[in-house]
Amino acid sequence: KPWKAKGEKKKLPPGPKGFPLFGSMHLLGKFLHHDLHKLAKKYGPIMHMRLGLIPTIIVSSPEAAELFLKTHDLVFASRPHIEAAKYMFWEYRDLVFAPYGSYWRYMRKMCTLELLNSVKISSFKAIRKEEIGQLIDTIQKAARERVSVDLSAKVTTLNADMSCRMVFGKKYLDKEFDERGFKVVIQEAMHLAAIPNLGDFIPFIAPLDLQGYTKRMKVVAKVFDDFFEKIIEDHILSKDEDSKTKDFVDVMLSLMESADSEYRIERPNIKAVMLDMLVASMDTSASAIEWAISELIKQPRVLMKVQKELETVVGMERMVEETDLEMLEYLDMVVKETLRLHPVVPLFHHAAMEECTINGFHIPKKSRVIVNAWAIGRDPNAWNDPEKFIPERFLGSSIDLKGRDFQLIPFGAGRRHCPGLQLGLIVVKLVVAQLVHCFDWELPNGVIPTELDMTEEFGLTTPRANHLLAIPTYRLHK
C-alpha cells in the first residue's frame, strides 16, 4: 500500500523467533546450508532470522533470488562486515569482500581486464595444457601399476599450480609457503571465513574472541602475508628482465607506481587481491571437478555416455583440446547438473545498503542476505526429481549458468556474480573431460559405484569430506 499509518509495525518475513542477544544462532549447525534449507521448508523462501543482533534474510527459491539479485540488485550489492575479511583480507581491500562502491568497481574492472577476460584466459591455455598433461602422465603411471589415485588431492594440486602460474607467474612449492602446505592453510582460511562467528553477529563481543577464531585468523593472515611479500619481492627483483612476460602481480605493481590510477594501490591492496584470485580460483574449480567425477563414477551409464561423446568428437587417438569443448554438449549438461546438486559455493552473502520492501515484507537496512544456491538447485517447484543426478534434464533446455535462469545460479547473479565464470568453466570441463577420456575409473576395495560416499565438508566452498580414491585404466590408443 502507498501509505503507512504512523507507528504501524513493519512486517518482517516469517522465521524462527530466537532468544535475546543470540537470536537464532543456536539453530545453525555444522552444515549451514542444510540447516537453512530445512528452516526454509518450514518458514518459506524469504525467511527472516535474527542472528545475534543482525537481521538476516535467507533466500531459498528461484523466484526469491530473482527479486534480490535482479529486481532489487543494487540495494543488495554490498557485502556484510565480517571479522574474517578484516583479519584475513586486509580489511576488505580485496574484491570478494569489498563493500559496494567505487573501490569495488575499480578492483573488479582491473581483475576482469588483466586476468579474467577471454583474451587473457586464452593466453593461459598453454599453461593449462602443460599442467594437465603432467597430471595425466602421473595417472598413467598409476594405471600401469594398478594402484589407486587420490583424485581429490591431485585435482587440488593441479588447480593450485595452474592458479599460481596465472596469478604469480610461477609455481611455488608447498614448503615455500608454510610447513603445513598450501592446501591446508587455504582450507583453514575458507573454513574460518564461512563458519558463523559470534563477533560478526554481536559486534561488541568481537574483541573477546570467545570461539578463538580471531586468533586462528591472525595466524593464517601472517602466513599469507609472509608468502605474498616474498612473491612481491621476487617480482620487483625480476622486473627488468626483458624476456619476462608480465603476470598479474607485475600489472598490479605497475599500478602501484603509476600516479594516474584511480586509487592509491599499495601493497596491502595487492596482497588482498592476490589472495582473492588464489582462493576464488583454486578450491571452487577443484571441488566442482571432484564432484563431477564422483557423480560420473557413481553412475556408469552417464560416464559411458560422456566417454562415447568424447570418442565421437575427439577420437581415441589423442587427448582433449580446449577447442573441442564447445562441441561437447553432453559434457556441458553433466557440468550443469553437477553444479546444480553441488554448487561449490553453496551460500553467498550480500548486505542491504538501504531498507527495502520485497513481496510485502520489510527488509531492514544493513540486513545480511544469504542466498542458498544449494536449496535453489533442489527446489521441487523448479526441478523434477531434484535429488537425482540426471544430465538429460538439460536436453533442449535453454537454462545456462550465466545468472539469467534463477533456478541455476552456482555462479551467483547480478552485480556481484562471479567474474571468473568463463575461466572456471573451461578448467572444470577440460579437466573432467580429460580424466574420463584418458581413463576408466574403478573404486578401490571392491566398493560398488552406487555406494560411493558423497558427504560434504562445509566451508566457503564445499568439497568432498573424504577424498575420492579410484583406480585408473588407460583408454586411449596412443
Q: Which is nearer to ligand HEM, 142 or 277 (CB)?
A: 277
CA distance 284 to 232: 25
Residue 418 binds ligand HEM (CB under 6 A): yes
Closer to ligand HEM by Cβ: residue 52 or 424: 424
- Contacts with ligand HEM by CB under 6 A: the residue count is 25
Does residue 431 touch ligand HEM according to CB under 6 A?
no
Rounded least distance, CB 431 to ligand HEM, Å: 11
Task: Please name the residues in contact with 411: beta carbons below 8 A apart, sequence gap of 6 or more.
Answer: 401, 402, 403, 417, 418, 421, 424
One-letter amino acid for residue 136 of the chain: I
C-alpha 290/C-alpha 300 separation (Å) is 16
By CB under 6 A, residue 44 contacts ligand HEM: no
Which of 96, 320, 356, 432 is close enough to bind ligand HEM by CB under 6 A?
A: 96
Query: Any contact of residue 410 with ligand HEM (CB under 6 A)?
Result: yes
Footprint on residues 145-184 left by ligand HEM (CB under 6 A): none
Q: Examine residue 423 and tell whether it contacts ligand HEM (CB under 6 A).
A: yes
Residues marked as binding for heme? 418
Min dist. Cβ of residue 222 to ligand HEM (A):
23
CB of 219 to ligand HEM, least distance (A): 24
Under 8 Å between Cβ of 164 and 475: no
Kindly give the residue spans of alpha helices, DSSP state H, lying in 238-299: 248-257, 267-298
Helix (H) or strand (E) holding 116: none
Count the residues in the chain.
478
**Closest to 33 measured CA to CA, from 462, 397, 350, 440:** 462
Among 25, 67, 82, 95, binds ligand HEM (CB under 6 A): 95
Closest CB 339 distance from ligand HEM, rounded Å: 6
Q: How far is the CB of 82 from ligand HEM (least distance, A)?
A: 13
Site for ligand HEM contains 288 (CB under 6 A): yes
Q: Which is nearer to ligand HEM, 21 or 126 (CB)?
A: 126
- Rounded to a whole number of angstroms, the minimum distance from the CB of residue 390 to ligand HEM is 20
Starting at the earlier edge strand, list the strands of the sheet with 54-59: 46-51, 54-59, 368-372, 347-351
- Interhelix angle 151-168/125-145, rounded to 10 degrees, is 160
In 128-274 the beta strands, taken as DSSP E runs, fall at 149-150
Pick the stretch among 196-204, 238-246, 309-317, 419-427 that binds ligand HEM (CB under 6 A).
419-427
Q: Residues 277, 351, 426, 471: which binds ligand HEM (CB under 6 A)? A: 277
62 binds ligand HEM (CB under 6 A): no
- Say if strands 356-358 and 347-351 run parallel, antiparallel, or are unpaired: unpaired
Q: How many CA atoms does the CB half-sphere of 415 hold within 13 Å?
A: 21
Query: Which residues, listed in sequence order, are joined to residue 351 by a DSSP beta bridge?
Result: 78, 368
**Which secondary-structure segment (H or E) carries 98?**
none
Q: Give the footprint of ligand HEM on this chain (CB under 6 A).
A: 95-96, 108, 116, 276-277, 280-281, 284-285, 288, 344-345, 348, 410-412, 416-420, 423-424, 428
